[in-house]
Amino acid sequence: MTTMADRLLDAMTRFAARRYGGEAVSELEHALQCADLARDGNGDEELQLACLLHDVGRYAVDQVLVSDTTELTRAGTGARGHHEVGAELLGPWVPERVAWCVRVHADAKRYLCATEPEYLDRLSAASRHTLRLQGGVMSPGEAARFAEHRWLRDAVALRRWDDQAKVAGKTTRSLEDWAPLVRRFLQR
C-alpha cells in the first residue's frame, strides 16, 4: 500500500531537478535547505517537518488547482494558492500546527512586508511577483490580527528560513536523511 509518506517522498524525488519557480535552486534543494535551517535554528520536529513540506502544493498536487504558480500552465477555475492546497493535502496527516504553518506561509510574507520596511526589498523577484497573486502587503488591521495568533512566531520563523533557502549549490542533509521523520508523521 502506498502511504502519504511514500507519495510525498516520491514527488520530491521526481521533481528534484525542477527549478523552484524562477529561483536558482530546485524544489527539492529548496525544501532540504529550509528544513536544515529549521533544524540548525533549533526549530522542533514539527517545525522542521513544516519547513520540509511547506511547498508540497507546488509539486505534489495538480498545478491546475493552484492559482499562484509561476509555471506556464494556466490555473483552472476555483484554483487557490499553493499554500492552501498544500495545507489541505497535509491536514489529515500532520499536527494542526504543521498544517497551519504551511497554510500561512504566504500570509507570513504579506505580514512581514507590512511590519518590516526592509523585508520587501530583500525578497527575490519571483517572491515579489507571487506576493501580488497572494493578496499583496497586509493592511495594518490584517497584520494586527495575524500578530495575535498563538503560532505567529513559528509562521515568521518558517518564512525567514523559506526566504534563505535559495542558495545555489549549498550542501544539505539528503532527502533520505529526512525520510524517517516524514514516515513517522505520515505513515499512520
Residues that bind Fe ion (CB under 5 A): 55, 162
We find the least distance from the C-beta atom of residue 53 to Fe ion, in angstroms, to be 10
We find the least distance from the C-beta atom of residue 162 to Fe ion, in angstroms, to be 4
Read off φ and ψ for residue 88, nearest 5 degrees: -70, -40
Residue 45: half-sphere exposure toward Cβ, Cα within 13 Å: 10
Of 4 and 101, which has the nearer Cβ to Fe ion? 101
Contacts for 110 with CB less than 8 Å, ≥ 6 apart? 131, 134, 135, 136, 137, 138, 142
Of 68 and 162, which has the nearer Cβ to Fe ion? 162
Of 3 and 97, which has the nearer Cβ to Fe ion? 97
Closest-approach residue to Fe ion (CB):
162
We find the least distance from the C-beta atom of residue 159 to Fe ion, in angstroms, to be 9
Instruction: Give the chain's end-to-end CA distance (angstroms, integer).
Output: 12
Closest among 136, 149, 143, 75 to 106, alpha carbons compared: 136
- What residue ranges in 14-166 does DSSP mark as E strands? none
How many helices (H) and strands (E) would you count in the chain?
A: 12, 0
We find the least distance from the C-beta atom of residue 164 to Fe ion, in angstroms, to be 10
Of 3 and 135, which has the nearer Cβ to Fe ion? 135
Of 1 and 125, which has the nearer Cβ to Fe ion? 125
Instruction: Classify burial at 11, counting beta carbons within 10 Å of its beta carbon; exposed 0-12, middle 13-18, buried 19 or more.
Output: middle
We find the least distance from the C-beta atom of residue 188 to Fe ion, in angstroms, to be 26
